[in-house]
């Protein structure tokens, strides 16, 4: 049975919306994983809103893709610029929406679709070709 929030039945609710302030961006991921583990967030298909002047969408270059399934090892591998895509590969985030100042132009404005998966030759996370709609 699905509720009006699009199949979010069975999720717990916080009495008050929690806020976690962290120094380095990747330090928020353990809080997200804790919310998934405590059933406050679904384990998959989350639309992630990212407010920052940098996209933080790099991929850890030499990290084996399967590291995403060992959270303690994963947390130690991530840094400020590459913590979002492993969560995409793990299936937690299905959409990433980046809100940024107008002067931040690292990625062209628009809607971009691409594939995230494991490169069989390197066993690392890589992106594949999708499509973009950059019309305004």
Is-contact 130 114, C-beta < 8 A? Answer: yes
- pLDDT interval class at 71 (50, 70, 90): very high
DSSP H helices in 18-80? 29-37, 71-77
Instruction: Give a yes or no: residue 9 inside a domain.
Output: no
- When pLDDT is averaged across residues 43-58 and rounded to a whole number, the result is 95
Residue range 32-40: average pLDDT? 96
Domain-embedded: residue 109: yes
Kindly state whether residue 105 falls inside one of the protein's structural domains.
yes
Residue 115 lies in a domain: yes
pLDDT over threshold 50, residue 12: yes
Look at residue 8 and tell me if it is in a domain: no
Residue at 7 is within a domain: no
Sign of CA dihedral 74, 118, 56, 97: negative
Q: Is 45 inside any structural domain?
A: yes
Q: Once rounded to an integer, what is the mean pLDDT over residues 46-72?
A: 95
Q: How many structural domains is the chain composed of? A: 1
Distance CA 108, CA 115 (A): 18
Q: Which domain holds residue 57?
A: 25-133
Give the model confidence (pLDDT) of 106-122 as tens digits.
998 899 998 999 999 99
Kindly tell me if the per-residue pLDDT of 40 is higher than 90.
yes
Q: Is residue 78 part of a domain?
A: yes
Q: Is the pLDDT of residue 1 over 60?
A: no
Per-residue model confidence (pLDDT) at position 129: 75
Residues 55, 107 contacting (CB under 8 angstroms)? yes
Is it the case that residue 136 has pLDDT exceeding 90?
no
């Amino acid at each position: 049975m699905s509720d009006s929030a699009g199949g979010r039945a069975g999720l717990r609710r916080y009495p008050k919306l929690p806020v976690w302030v962290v120094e380095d961006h990747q330090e928020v991921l353990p809080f997200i994983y804790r919310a998934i583990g405590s059933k406050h967030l679904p384990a998959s298909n989350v639309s992630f809103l990212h407010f920052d002047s940098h996209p933080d969408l790099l991929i850890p270059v030499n990290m084996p893709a399967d590291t995403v399934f060992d959270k303690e090892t994963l947390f130690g591998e991530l840094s400020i610029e590459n913590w979002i895509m492993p969560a995409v590969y793990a299936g937690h985030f299905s959409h990433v929406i980046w809100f940024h100042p107008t002067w931040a132009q690292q990625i062209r404005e628009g809607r971009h679709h691409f594939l995230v998966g494991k490169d069989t030759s390197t066993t690392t996370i890589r992106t594949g070709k999708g499509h973009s709609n950059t019309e305004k």
